[in-house]
Amino acid sequence: MKSESNQLTFSFWRMLRLSSFQIGSAMGDILVTSIWNRVMISQFGIPAAPVSLLIALRYFLSPLSLWAGYRSDTRPFLGMRRTSYIWLGRGLMVLSLPLLGWSLARFAAVHDVGGTADWPGWMLALLSSLLYGVGTLISGSPYLALVRDSAPRAKQGLAISTAETVLIIFFAIVGITFSFWMEEFDLVIFWEMVVATMVIGGFFWLFSIWGMERAIRRQKGISLPQELAAVKEQAAQTDLINTIRRIWLDKRTRRFFMFLSLATFSAWMQDAILEPFGAEVFDLPLARTTRFNSYWQAATVITLVGGAYLWRKRPPERQRRITGSGLAGMALGMLLLGATAVFHQVHLIEVALLLFGAGFGIYTFGGLSLMAVMSSDKEAGAYLGLWTISVVVFKGLGTFAGGALRDLLLLSLNLGDGAGYGLIFLLEGVGLATAVFVLSRVDVLGFAREMGRLLSRSEVQIASAD
């Protein structure tokens, strides 16, 4: 496997094509987690807790990601290791989107006659969330594993960072586009966005990885029968439970999982409440609050691209301090946003979001490089499935916690809009700062040495310099 990996060359155009997969991902996520939740909470007056719970539902199903990653390592499906799993998952996501439109149509009809409860609408929303979530999880870790497979060892972190950078770029582009497309809620326009996401997103989910596995296999100089024989041999020597147990028994793996979990939980507490925050504290219109995500995601893109240029020659094993500095910037952004809410300083919202986003870009570049390092070549799908579980579950928990805290502080304790939202953002900043400490306890270098990433004494000395 090592010799095969070394035969690969890094292709920028191949990375761009693989990364175009994220266009559909961005369109789907903006539709589900930015527009749908804002309409449900602020337009229809539905409490944030059940809405954020539905958004977070897919995250709680994240063990599927580890299963799918392991299967793509050891159990080819329809003659492919990664591609078939990816397309199966994305097909379920396409099927989920019309159900989301029908659910919103039900809630709109009930709202027009002065009601809020509609069980058929909730059932449609639940089914849509389940299909979307299962599809995301089945396809997510095999896609990341395919991206990792496509690059030589020294560039695997850069490859994953490129794919995630494109995702964040299109979060910003799609967020701005959708905000101008639907400045105020209109069910017909929402349906237009659903159809556009199905057609455009579906196209790029097919185009981006069509024939990619075969091309990678040819460059490695191995045939399909050879690869399948190696996969079958690996599958005969292990099983999912033993693989999980062995991975988890490593203290370095557990600490890295804790770091990712805390950082992700804290970073996404604002996900379901950012747009309602702008509407309820400052009475801002839908068009402006929809752009909130675009502001911080645009800053994320700038620092991600800048980081990729500045640190492109830096070994991925040396990204720990860079990752920690990004988390510190995110914490400062959330503290400023909390102060903005408490002191009612609307003009500082964009500043706080840009600071948060800039830190997020640095954290993302470093963190994705560390994810590539903290994975073995033979079990990349399983390791990346575990890191995906960490990110996905705790993104869901953070999303739900933000919505639940909003309801508790504002509706139950009557704390006041500014103070309630400000306290949530303060807690988020504290969590991000704590994640920096947890990261400092992870022995990334020791893991890299054991997995054969650092072979010579000079490599070890360079990596140790961090």
DSSP E strands: which ranges in 138-286?
none
Assess whether pLDDT exceeds 50 at residue 126: yes
- What's 318's DSSP letter? G
pLDDT at 178: 85
Q: Is the Cα dihedral 451, 372, 87, 5 positive or negative?
A: negative
For the chain, what is the mean pLDDT? 81
pLDDT at 223: 54
d(CA 183, CA 290): 9
Most confident listed range (13-22, 59-68, 84-93, 406-415): 84-93
d(CA 399, CA 303): 24
Most confident listed range (168-177, 266-275, 371-380, 434-443): 434-443
Higher pLDDT, 354 or 395: 354
Instruction: Decide if 140 contacts 25 (C-beta within 8 A).
Output: no
Give 462's pLDDT tier (boundaries 50, 70, 90): very low
pLDDT tens-place string over residues 141-198: 888 888 887 777 777 777 877 787 788 788 878 888 887 888 778 889 889 999 999 9
Assess whether pLDDT exceeds 80 at residue 379: no
Give 65's pLDDT tier (boundaries 50, 70, 90): confident
Least confident span in 70-84, 224-238, 257-271, 299-313: 224-238
CATH class of the structural domain 2-464: mainly alpha
d(CA 157, CA 149): 11
Instruction: Decide if 255 contacts 140 (C-beta within 8 A).
Output: no
Instruction: Decide if 334 contacts 428 (C-beta within 8 A).
Output: yes
Q: Which residues contact 301 (CB under 8 A, 6 or more apart)?
A: 165, 168, 169, 172, 361
d(CA 431, CA 111): 38
Residue of 222, 140, 166, 139 lying closest to 14 (CA atoms): 166
pLDDT at 330: 96
pLDDT at 117: 66
For the chain, what are the domain ranges? 2-464
**C-alpha distances in angstroms, 345 versus 176, 327, 351?**
23, 24, 11
